[in-house]
Structure 1
Amino acid sequence: MTALTYTVFTDPASVEASAAGRRSKSTGTVYLVITNTARRTDWSRIEVRVPVGDGVGDLTPNLPEMKGKYTDNRWGTQASTQEVKVDPQRDTNVFEVTPKSGGAASFKPGDYLVLTMENVTIAATAGPAVLTVREKTEDDDGEHTRYTSVALVKTAPKEIPAPRDFHPDKGMVGAGENLTLSWEGSPEFDYKILFPGGQKDISSDTRTWTPPDAPKRATTYTLVATDTVTQKQHFLTTTVQVRFPVLETLTATTGIDTLWVQGTVDGKKGRVTFTDTGVEISGNSGGRGTVTADRADLNGVNTGWVQGRSADDGKITFPKDGLDVRNGSGAWGTVHADKADLNGINTEWVQGRSADDGWITFPVEGLKVHRKDDSHLTHLEVGYATHDIVKTRIVRGLNDDDGWISFRAEGLNIRRGRGTERGTLFAANTELKE
């Protein structure tokens, strides 16, 4: 039995073996507490052997540093502490602990010595690790060299806790407003974030990410954490809402309820507003806008006017007594049609299709037939006509060299061709009074 008592403690209380393949190793602090529970003893040397390696019985793959402090704990008085010398032995896994002053030092009952190994990398294999001790002491019975051992347990490594608390810094963003996603998790995972249209690999030591493009519509982000050793994956999702979303397409199977619909491009923000009577179309400036379509199939149209596509096209307005047709300048315009089926026509004149064609006016007496170059009564061709009275100055044959008849107060003149030479009256029977 040793003269002194040896006890080992660890922080954390249960140290885990380091999992093979992990980026980071399991670490802990090992305390070896040495006390005197019996009679007064002088000590000159304590040797502690640490098992080094990654096997079942090993504590650590690399020999750590050891420090020591001796406390004089005299009962009823203030305890005092002093450092002791701790030297690793060359080419061994042994630490030699000696009094600070050298030689032998008193180790009274109640005093204690604490040897500390901090940030020890724990071996990769679970199981007990045994520290062996050799002490050299002296008491009333003489000098003694005795041995003992103390053990600690390396537990099997636990599964790495899944990442958690994946969230945006704001749940609702405006158009073009950036956001940052953050989470908590182990550096032992490979991280990536999935989002519509792509994904981003994240460094294992990073716990935040800002999307390069601000979301335009409600967007779900998925955090994928992959265990680098087991390849087990964990998935966390979070959704960010956009205050004024931009949609590429929208399919609604039961309908859409909204006050208005508006464009998104600057300069093209026309709006459709839904009223109690139908819809209103507004332009980019907010005034009444234009509907452009290939065809409109309507039961009726109420409008102040109708015009062609160009600003100088003709226009039709709708006064109370019918409609007015105007040309691009605003003057009276022309109606072009193949046929008109009307109950009546009120007009000042009628002319052929060409500007050189003759034209007809409608005086109070009846009608007048004109040529282009003057307003005199001119050539009239009639297939058949029945009149109570025909008033005319000249009657000519159908051919240019036919004779003609003029009407004078005394009677009539018969002339030949185009000239003024007297012509001949031909008749089957002529009865004259003179």
Structure 2
Amino acid sequence: MSALTYTVLTDPTSLEASVDGRTPSTGTVYLMVTNTGEEVAWLRIEVRVPVGDRAGHLTREISTINLKGEYTDTLGTQTDFRIEPDTQPVNIQQQGTNVLEVTPQSGRIAAFEPGDYMLLTLENVTVAPTAGVAVLIVREILKTDTGWETKYAAVPLVKATAKEIPAPRDFRPDKAMLDTGENLTLSWDGSPDFTYEIVFPGGRSPVSGGTWSPPTPQRATTYILVATDPITRKQHFLTTTVQVRHPVLESLTATAGIDTPWVQGTAHKGRVTFTDTGAEIFDNTGGQGTVTADKALLNGVNTEWVQGRSADDGKITFPKDGLDVRQGSGAWGNVHADKADVNGVNTKWVQGRHSDDGWISFPKEGLNVYRAGTHEWGTVFAKHGRMASGKTRPGQGWRAYAPDSICIDVDTSAGEFTGDPVYLTSIGGAGGMQYDLVGTSAVYDITANKFSVYLKWRDDRELTPAMAQQFGWYINWIGYDTP
């Protein structure tokens, strides 16, 4: 049985066994030595620390432990009716690989009085990796009335199983909203024993140290912090999102619409502004801009003029009484067309395509026909002088004739023919399909006041008056009267 009493305390209260791959578990061991009996003359106290990796070992290495020892005389000195304890250091040092030797400060035998205590502090103890009970063996070398004595004590110390690493927390940006040109820093609180990476759109990056500055985001971005326990491989996920005041988007699909006062380009700064009446286009100086497109499908255009792409191209202006066609110089221009379908033409003259072609002028009395670009009278060529033309109403007048064919009677009485007219016909219609008909140029039942046309499909499929009405077919005709 030992002459002194030994009590062990630890900080933290429960020492955790270390885990390979993590930051080593460290702590402080306090060995409290007290005397609850008679005075003890002591020369040396040896504390054998179990060293190794097993459950019964406290640490792998005692050379890294910081040692400190203090002896307190609880009676100390008495002043003003008060007792002041007196604390003095004792010598404590490592002997060999696993023994700590404690001696009085004087190096000689000292009295350990009843009620006094000695505190041995072992700081920065790296706890061995296996949980269990480590036993400190204390050896006392004492001087007694009968001579030198050696006594022993066993002091148990519990090493608890290591706890799971606390999950990281508080993943946060230093700015929730980024302006153009601002940098971003992400921070988190967590154990350095985790391996960390941050995942973001288009990439991932290993990180450490509790902070990371990503490339400046161009649009609202969500970052995911992934913390992995290197031993258990268990993962923890934290997310944070950063907004960008002026985002740059690769594409945008808005199914319910976008509400914005204006839209502006990133490189050239052209702008579209939305007004009560529509939209306005501005260039990068704030002036009126230009719309460039391959095609434009519009219900109408209100404009002062229209011109080709080049400065010397023709121009059309729109005065109140119609339109003017001019050259790029401002002189009157020409209208070129293959055909013109108009309700009327007001003109001083009409001429063929070439300068030596005949031409017609229109005096008040009627018309004049001239030859070869001169003012010499020209010639009107015709076998007979009576001609007329017309067309039926689209989709009307058609009736069934025989299975899979239809016909129409064309009224020509407006031509006032008196003889046996010759009729030329064609078929038109907004709905099309005329190309697949048979009989479009054949006329029957000819009189001075009418004729008939009979139609069928080229492939003899069913043809009904309803189809003619659906396609809006009508007959164009020209009649030339013969005696």
Fold-level similarity (TM above 0.5): yes
CA contact (8 A) 2:370 2:379 kept: no
Where do 1:26-65 residues align within 5 Å?
A: 26-64=25-63, 65=65
In 2, Cα distance between equivalents of 1:276 and 1:175 = 31
Instruction: Give secondary structure in 2 for the equivalent of 1:287.
Output: coil
Asked if 1:198 corresponds to 2:203, the answer is yes
Where do 1:261-300 residues align within 5 Å?
A: 261-265=263-267, 267=268, 269-300=269-300
User: What's the TM-score once normalised by structure 2's chain length?
Assistant: 0.71
Where do 1:11-410 residues align within 5 Å?
A: 11-19=11-19, 21-64=20-63, 65=65, 66-74=67-75, 76=78, 77-90=83-96, 92-139=97-144, 143-203=148-208, 206-212=209-215, 214-265=216-267, 267=268, 269-340=269-340, 341=342, 343-347=344-348, 350-355=350-355, 369=370, 377-378=375-376, 380-383=378-381
Instruction: Provide, for residues 102-159 of structure 1, a one-character-per-residue CA deviation record: whole Å limited to 9, x for no partner.
Output: 2211222222222121101101111111101111223556543211111111010000
In 2, Cα distance between equivalents of 1:179 and 1:361 = 82
* 1:133 alignment partner AA: V
CA contact (8 A) 2:71 2:88 kept: yes
* 1:239 alignment partner AA: T
Q: How many Å apart are 1:350 and its aligned residue?
A: 4.9
Instruction: Give secondary structure in 2 for the equivalent of 1:215.
Output: coil
* 2:236 alignment partner AA: H
When structure 1 is superposed on structure 2, of 36-45 and 270-279 the one drifting more is: 270-279
CA contact (8 A) 2:369 2:379 kept: no
In 1, Cα distance between equivalents of 2:283 and 2:104 = 95
CA contact (8 A) 1:40 1:139 kept: no
In 2, Cα distance between equivalents of 1:287 and 1:87 = 88
In structure 2, the partner of 1:418 is none
Q: Which runs of 5+ in 1 are unaligned?
A: 386-434
Q: Which runs of 5+ in 2 are unaligned?
A: 384-483
What is the RMSD computed on CA atoms of the aligned residues?
2.6
In 1, Cα distance between equivalents of 2:164 and 2:338 = 91
In 1, Cα distance between equivalents of 2:298 and 2:92 = 102
CA contact (8 A) 2:70 2:88 kept: yes
| Displaced runs of 4 or more, over 6 A | 358-366
In 2, Cα distance between equivalents of 1:170 and 1:307 = 52
In 1, Cα distance between equivalents of 2:126 and 2:55 = 14
Q: How many Å apart are 1:279 and its aligned residue?
A: 2.4
* 2:195 alignment partner AA: D
When structure 1 is superposed on structure 2, of 353-362 and 235-244 the one drifting more is: 353-362
The alpha-carbon distance between structure 1 residues 145 and 274, as it changes in their structure 2 partners (threshold 3 A), is same
In 1, Cα distance between equivalents of 2:117 and 2:377 = 147
In 1, Cα distance between equivalents of 2:180 and 2:101 = 69
In 2, Cα distance between equivalents of 1:301 and 1:87 = 101
CA contact (8 A) 1:176 1:215 kept: no
When structure 1 is superposed on structure 2, of 141-150 and 110-119 the one drifting more is: 141-150
* 1:279 alignment partner AA: A
Q: How many Å apart are 1:368 and its aligned residue?
A: 8.8
Asked if 1:3 corresponds to 2:3, the answer is yes
Q: How many Å apart are 1:36 and its aligned residue?
A: 1.9
Q: How many Å apart are 1:34 and its aligned residue?
A: 1.2
CA contact (8 A) 1:17 1:156 kept: yes
In 2, Cα distance between equivalents of 1:43 and 1:154 = 31
User: What's the TM-score once normalised by structure 1's chain length?
Assistant: 0.79
In 1, Cα distance between equivalents of 2:376 and 2:318 = 39
Instruction: Give secondary structure in 2 for the equivalent of 1:78.
Output: strand
* 2:294 alignment partner AA: D
Instruction: Give secondary structure in 2 for the equivalent of 1:79.
Output: strand
CA contact (8 A) 2:141 2:149 kept: yes
- How many residues align? The count is 375
CA contact (8 A) 2:358 2:369 kept: no
Q: How many Å apart are 1:355 and its aligned residue?
A: 4.5
- Identity level (%): 64
CA contact (8 A) 2:355 2:372 kept: no
Instruction: Provide, for residues 264-310 of structure 1, a one-character-per-residue CA deviation record: whole Å limited to 9, x for no partner.
Output: 22x2x222222222222333332333333333333322221111222
Q: How many Å apart are 1:18 and its aligned residue?
A: 0.5
Q: How many Å apart are 1:40 and its aligned residue?
A: 2.1
When structure 1 is superposed on structure 2, of 147-156 and 349-358 the one drifting more is: 349-358
Q: How many Å apart are 1:384 and its aligned residue?
A: 7.0
* 1:154 alignment partner AA: K
